[in-house]
Amino acid sequence: MREPDGSALGHIRICDFTGQLAGAGATKFLAAFGAQVIRIEDPSNEGRWDILRGGTPYKDERRGINLGGSFNNHNVEKLGVTLNLRMKRGKELLHQLIEISDVITENFAAGVFERLGLSYQELQEIREDIIYVSNCGFGHSGPYAKYKTWGPIVQAVSGLTFSSGLPNEPSAGWGYSYMDHTGAYYMAMAILMAIHHRNVTGDGQWVDMSCTEAGASLNGPAILDYTVNGRPLRRPMSPNSNRSQSPQMVPHGIYPADGADNWIAIACRNERDWAAICSIAADSGITDWTVDPRFDSLSGRIKHQDDLDVAVSVWTGKYERFALAARLQAAGVAATAVQKPGERVDNDADTSAWGLWPTVHHTEMGEVRVDGIPVHLSETDWRIERGAPCLGEDNEYVFGELLGLDATEIASLKEEGVL
């Protein structure tokens, strides 16, 4: 265990084999709260197992293994070392590192870690109270244990792609790896709960995370509607995920606003909201829904929802989305412009007041903004200042200071391809 340094997790050391986002996102969160995360990469392929390492976006014209923007985003505040585990000396050094680590994390396909001689049992032989958290598509057991995934595949198989979309269209799914983010969140929770349990009992354990199971656990009410009432989500005119069935709200959706690809979201939660919406719409002079008998109750609005959505679109389409959302909010109605990236990053009073986009210093990229953390702790808050490590950037510190190798030995290990 490390000496505490006043940060929340300053006493925790993580020997980290994660990559991409599904794994790296978990250890980023822990690193931001002070955990010492030592990211281990394979020198023989320059850490390319993580396909984000040198990938887009780029800050400027430069390209290279250390210049990937998404890699930087997901690996801030971590240390980076290279270690070739196919070589005997590499294995030995890894064992020494595990001896002084609290947690081992990885998100390889199932079986990879075991083939490296690093099954939970073998890890326990190195350090009895070790916490081992693995995250893969289908977990380490069951008929699909060997199947491989990335975010969109997890989303497809877990039911999340299907539950996002419009009737009479294919699934819209998620325009990003929601389950890479969310898989990382579950991985972070698992690590922290296992640490707490170890603090109480002295025992480590293995957490086998199957990302598709984590995804499948996020559709609970729809699953109960099937298992209890026999009503599947796959049925005519279903799903329509811009509408709200639980609870029933009408109107409820994303409607066009003035301008190209401009949209406004409105949720009418109750009769008070409906009266406010009617009054603002009537001000525009185009319509007075209060005198329309089709819409004078929730059941009527549900029955005539298609007609109402068309009428709402005609109304909203005439207005600038931020101004209309502000008018609705002033009347107590939940509404928002569908914000574009530049708007919510650079012009959103909430995200800037929060300090959501910290600037880090990256050794080669320079100053870059990254995703921050949407929680603040009153006593031991997060800190994100250092960019992602360049390949092997912390070899001297980790192998020298932590494991006690001298500079000559480190240099010759580098020469031999161990580091």
Partner 1 sequence: MTALTGLRVVELSNERCAFAGKLLADMGAEVILVEPPGGDITRGFEPFLDDISGPERSLSFWHYNTSKRGLVLNLDTELGRNVLRRIVASADVLLESESPTRLDSLGIAPRSLRVGHEELITISMAPFMREGPRADEEATDLTLLAGGGPAWSCGYDDHSLPPIRGGGNQGYHTGCHYAVMALLVALVSRDETGVGQHIDVDMHAAQNVTTEAGSYQWLVAEETVQRQTGRHAGVNPTPPTQVQCSDGRWVNTGVPARRGSDYQRVMDWLEEVGLAGEFPEMILLQMGAEHDHLGIDQVTTDSVIREIFQAARDAIVLLAASMPADEFFHSAQERGFQVGIIYSPEEVMEDPHFKARGFPTEVQHPELDRSFTYSGAPYRFSSTPWAISSRAPLLGEHADEILSKVDYGDDEIANLREEGVI
Q: Which of residues 346-365 bind partner 1 (CB under 8 A)?
A: 348-351, 353-354, 356-357
- Write out the E strands in 95-211: 103-106, 131-136, 206-210
Residue 64 engages partner 1 in binding (rule: CB under 8 A): no
Q: 162: number of CA atoms within 13 Å, CB side? A: 17
Residue 146 engages partner 1 in binding (rule: CB under 8 A): yes
Would you give the binding string for partner 1 spanning residues 273-312, x where CB under 8 A is met? ----------------------------------------
Q: 23, 47, 90, 372: which one contacts partner 1 (CB under 8 A)?
A: 372
Q: 138, 295, 315, 319: which one contacts partner 1 (CB under 8 A)?
A: 138
- Region near partner 1 per CB under 8 A, out of 80-88, 179-187, 281-289, 291-299: 179-187
Q: Please list every residue from 211 through 230 that binds partner 1, using CB under 8 A.
A: 212-214, 216-229
Q: Which is nearer to partner 1, 145 or 403 (CB)?
A: 145
In this structure, are residues 106 and 113 in contact, taking their beta carbons and an 8 Å threshold?
yes
Residues in contact with 188: Cβ distance below 8 Å, sequence separation at least 6, in sequence order: 25, 26, 27, 29, 30
Q: Which H or E run contains 303?
A: helix 298-303
Least distance in angstroms from the C-beta of 400 to partner 1 = 28
Single-letter code of the amino acid located at 2: R
The rounded distance, in Å, linking the Cα atoms of 90 and 270 is: 64
Residues in contact with 229: Cβ distance below 8 Å, sequence separation at least 6, in sequence order: none
Q: 224: number of CA atoms within 13 Å, CB side? A: 5
- Region near partner 1 per CB under 8 A, out of 57-65, 111-119, 388-396, 411-419: 57-65
Q: Which is nearer to partner 1, 175 or 293 (CB)?
A: 175
Residue 378 engages partner 1 in binding (rule: CB under 8 A): yes
The rounded distance, in Å, linking the Cα atoms of 357 and 350 is: 11
Q: Which is nearer to partner 1, 182 or 395 (CB)?
A: 182
Helices 178-201 and 151-158, axial angle in degrees (round to 10) = 90
Helices 321-330 and 271-283, axial angle in degrees (round to 10) = 130
Residue 251 engages partner 1 in binding (rule: CB under 8 A): no
Q: 115, 199, 236, 415: which one contacts partner 1 (CB under 8 A)?
A: 199
Residue 315 engages partner 1 in binding (rule: CB under 8 A): no
Q: 85, 87, 126, 338: which one contacts partner 1 (CB under 8 A)?
A: 338
